[in-house]
Amino acid sequence: MRILLAEDDIEIATHVSKGLRDAGYEVVHEADGEAALAAAGAGQFDLLIIDRMLPHKDGLAIIAALRAAGSATPVLVLSALGTVDHRVEGLKAGGDDYLVKPFALAELLARVEALLRRGGSGSAAAGKMLLRVGDLELDRMSRKVVRAGKPIMLTAREFKLLEYLMLHPDQVVTRTMLLEHVWDLHFDPQTNLIDVHISRLRQEIDRDFGRPLLHTVRGAGYMIGERA
Amino acid sequence: MNAARQSDATPLLRSSATRLAALYTVIMLIGVSTLLVSVYYANQEALRRESELMVLAESQAMRDEFLFNGIDKLTHMLQQRADDWGRIGAVYLLMDSNGKRLAGNLSGWPVDAKASSDGLEFTLEAREGDQEVDHPARGHVLRLGNYRLLIGTDVSERRRMLQQMRRATLWGIGLTTLLTALAAWLYSRRIAARVSSVVAACANIMSGDLSRRLPASGSHDEFDSLASTVNTMLERLEHQASVLRTTFGSAAHDLRTPLQRIRIRLETGLQSDSPPAVRAALAEALADIERVQRTLATLLQIAHAESGAGDQHLQRLDLAALAQELVELYVPVARERSIALTLEATGEPAMRGNRQLLAQLVVNLLENTLKYVPAGGHVAVRALRRGDRAVLEVADDGPGIPAERHAEALLPFRRLSDSADGSSGGLGLSLVSAVVRMHQGSLGLHDNAPGLRVCCEFPAVD
């Protein structure tokens, strides 16, 4: 998997590049806006990570130019501009996800993985009506959840939460990703809201069954999957 | 934003232009009436005096004739003058002591003669075409020895003239009043229209569209000079706002980039095989960075809302639905703290708003109240429609805030009691207040006896 990283701060770029390489990705780094646009147009990339404020060419302008040229490569926007409206602008300009600085490396990696799986082989999950993780099944049509043949009753929001987790099996899903996609909230509340909702969901799907499926990933978020 | 929301057109009677126009009309009415009525009375007096003088002069001539030349000469003279007199409407009658008519153009002493303060009033019978008509007349009776001479004038012509003049006067007053009122009404409408265009433009600008300018009519009148002054002021404001936005933008960048670097170093440190004590310190530093980050985000969000930039993302939304989603989100947290969190939604409190900012407003109110309300407490969220307002209330039965400190509570970085964590609690209500202002709403803190009731009201839409 090849990733283009367009970031003008060398220390941040070095750290992010190292983190991505450690996670097994191939990384090309550009520090200049024009150079980043040229590289994105020329090379085959699976994902673009573009800072919003780049020298010589604004990050959103790069995305607009790429989209106009017909590129569908997923883009993760990095930005120091963090109000909710800035996020909306970034997504409207053609970004697929928006991450505000300062971010944790774990947050970046989780989002990169989510974007890559969505764009590649993982997209199969997005179109599927029946999601399955181990013996847990979620039917998106009839909105029913069954584990080991036993029906599980969930509220509408719990269903949405589980659905999002199951759309990303064996991937780390962060708290902010859940807030954004399950509750459509693009800011961080102070309270440990997500932890409380996850523990309630865990009660429903894991408590009466031997093997837990919903795991906490320390310092990152949550993951649903068969491996512990 | 539209202006109608801000202020409906000023009621006609309360408009100062209308009042000025009405005053102008009344003054014109009084002036014109005084002028025309005094002209009328002056004319009336002049006419009266003219006929009186004529009668008086004639009486003098008759008396002299009688005294110097005797009754026969007088009779003769009267007969000679009869034709002239008839033409000018004069009447006379000379009678002897027996009541016998000697001369004159009256057939007999008028039957209805009535003495008044300045002479005799009576009626003449005259022929006009085929009709017999009564003409009013006035005159003097002159005693000449044993004879009586009645000299008078037919006043019907004079009366008719006065009547016409009276009618002309009334028409004059009426028409002048009508025209003045019409002109005044048009004038006040014009003024009202220009004022309301200024009001509308100002309302638009106040709601954040600082690039708009007041229109000038090009007539270089006082409205144009007002517009140009306001426009100069707006230019300065717009400049300041843009400087502020750029400053915030670069501040965000200049603060967040070093924060990111600090984060990176802390994270790298945590990954290495440092001693546990160092790792614990690094983890705490990381938590502190997160707090700084959150405060910074809230500050920037407040600045963003205050600048009106969030206006571009307004959409119609149901406050009750939003409240329900967020209450649902917080119910498990409240339950963990043994606080009952309930929602009461009535009607359809729909409004135009920025969903993310309003969600943050509700979240801040909820986090604020959940922080202060002790276990066993109750927090009620209400979303309702009150007249033309969409209302959102968060009421608790916690310790509350004394009424005299309500205003203070909305200021940034005021912490009214000791909150457990050192997080951005000092900014929560400031952000609420900024978001309310951005939506042209009003924010009130009330005593919930016991507890605090925070009430946000917004202009509702259907």
Percent of chain A with pLDDT over 70: 96
Residue closest to B393 by CA, chosen among B431, B435, B342: B342
Contact state of A191 with B333 under an 8 Å Cβ cutoff? yes
Q: Measured between alpha carbons, how far is A81 from A87 in angstroms, rounded to an integer?
A: 8
Inform me whether the C-beta atom of residue A42 falls under 8 Å from chain B C-beta atoms.
Answer: no
Q: Which pair of tokens denotes residue B426? A: 């000092």
- In what order do the strands lie in the sheet containing A130-133? A130-133, A136-139, A144-147, A150-152
Chain B residues touching A193 at Cβ < 8 A:
329-330, 332-333
pLDDT grade for B300, boundaries at 50, 70 and 90: confident
**What is the pLDDT of chain A when averaged over all its residues?**
88
pLDDT grade for B208, boundaries at 50, 70 and 90: low
Q: Which pair of tokens denotes residue B434? A: 């900024």
* pLDDT value at residue B3: 38
Alpha-carbon distances, residue A127 vs A96, A124, A173, A207, B292 (angstroms): 18, 6, 19, 29, 40
pTM: 0.66
Selecting from A81, A88, A103 the residue whose C-beta is nearest the C-beta of B249 gives A81
Predicted confidence (pLDDT) per residue in A43-55, tens digit: 889 999 999 888 8
Q: Measured between alpha carbons, how far is B436 from B439 in angstroms, rounded to an integer?
A: 5
Q: Which residue of A has its CA nearest to B309?
A: A85
Chain A residues touching B288 at Cβ < 8 A:
none
Interface test with B, best of A12, A157, A187 (most B CBs within 10 A): A187
Q: Measured between alpha carbons, how far is A72 from A45 in angstroms, rounded to an integer?
A: 10
Residue closest to B41 by CA, chosen among B53, B51, B33: B33
Sign of the alpha-carbon torsion through B400, B405, B410, B415: negative
Q: What is the pLDDT averaged over residues A124-138?
A: 82
Percent of chain B with pLDDT over 70: 89
End-to-end CA distance of chain A: 25
Q: What is the pLDDT averaged over residues B360-368?
A: 92
Cβ atoms B306, B434 nearer than 8 A: yes
Q: Which of A153-167, B2-16, B46-60, B95-109 has the highest mean pLDDT?
A: A153-167
Q: Measured between alpha carbons, how far is A129 from B205 in angstroms, rounded to an integer?
A: 50
CB atoms within 10 A of CB B147: 16
**What is the pLDDT of chain B when averaged over all its residues?**
82
Q: How far is CA B86 from the centre of its chain?
A: 67
pLDDT grade for B86, boundaries at 50, 70 and 90: low
Fold type of domain B20-163? Beta-Lactamase (3.30.450)
* pLDDT value at residue A48: 95
Q: Measured between alpha carbons, how far is A29 from B169 in angstroms, rounded to an integer?
A: 96
Cβ atoms B317, B353 nearer than 8 A: yes
Q: Measured between alpha carbons, how far is B137 from B109 in angstroms, rounded to an integer?
A: 13
Q: How far is CA A49 from the centre of its chain?
A: 12
Contact state of A191 with B360 under an 8 Å Cβ cutoff? no
CB atoms within 10 A of CB A200: 18
Q: What is the pLDDT averaged over residues B411-433?
A: 63
Q: How far is CA B98 from the centre of its chain?
A: 82
Q: Measured between alpha carbons, how far is B369 from B453 in angstroms, rounded to an integer?
A: 10
* pLDDT value at residue A214: 93
Q: Which pair of tokens denotes residue A36? A: 């980043």
Domains in chain A, ordered, with CATH? 2-119 (3.40.50.2300), 124-224 (1.10.10.10)
Contact state of A191 with B370 under an 8 Å Cβ cutoff? yes
Class of domain B314-459: alpha beta
Q: Which residue of B has its CA nearest to A53?
A: B253
CB pairs under 8 A between A and B: 104
Helices B276-306/B355-372 angle, 10° precision: 130
Could you state, in order of their start, the residue ranges of all structural domains in chain B?
20-163, 222-306, 314-459
Alpha-carbon distances, residue B125 vs B81, B109, B164, B437 (angstroms): 20, 12, 23, 89
pLDDT grade for B423, boundaries at 50, 70 and 90: very low
| Window from A6-15, A84-93, A201-210, B259-268 with minimum mean pLDDT | A84-93
